Amino acid sequence: MSQLTITPILIEQDIDRHSYLLSYGPHHVLLDPGAHYHSDALLRQIQSIIAIDQIEYIILQSNDFLNISSLDAIINAGFKGTLIVNEASLSFIRKSVKVAFKTIQELIFHLQLHQLESTHLCLQGNSIYSISPHLS
């Protein structure tokens, strides 16, 4: 059985700044990759653990452009997964990044819909009615 592993990636020693690699079996997620000047340290440490193309998602939770500017280096190193971004970084992402992305809001909506999977939905006009499976 797989176990979640959270690996801190030290990207700036002077202020003890970290990115985090979350691994669950063959699945890998990078959280907050940092600024462009963190790229060398970030890539070196990640590549000592896994290949960059094994990262499925990068989650960008920062609202500060500087804290996500390492993306170009990560993409050039082979990242082909999906970015999970907040609304504040959308303008930068749309203009400069050529990989798939989803907003956090889209992801929340998808997760909410997934929770309805066991509920039958009836669409009528612009309204959605849910019917409990055991009542249908």
Q: Domain range holding 59?
A: 4-135
Q: Is the pTM of this model over 0.85?
A: no
Query: What pLDDT is recorded for position 133?
Result: 42
Residues 74, 56 contacting (CB under 8 angstroms) = no
Whole-number percent of the chain with pLDDT over 70: 72
- Checking if the pLDDT of 102 tops 50, the result is yes
**Mean pLDDT of all residues belonging to the chain:** 78
Q: Domain containing 82 — which CATH number?
A: 3.60.15.10
If one counts the domains in the chain, the total is: 1
What is the rounded average pLDDT of the residues 123-131? 43
Query: What pLDDT is recorded for position 32?
Result: 87
The tens digit of pLDDT for each residue in 63-74 reads: 666 667 788 899
What own/partner pairs with CB < 8 Å and gap ≥ 24 does 39-45 have?
39/70, 39/73, 39/74, 40/73, 41/9, 41/10, 41/11, 41/12, 42/9, 42/11, 42/70, 42/73, 42/74, 43/73, 43/74, 43/77, 45/9, 45/10
Sign of CA dihedral 42, 44, 50, 54: positive
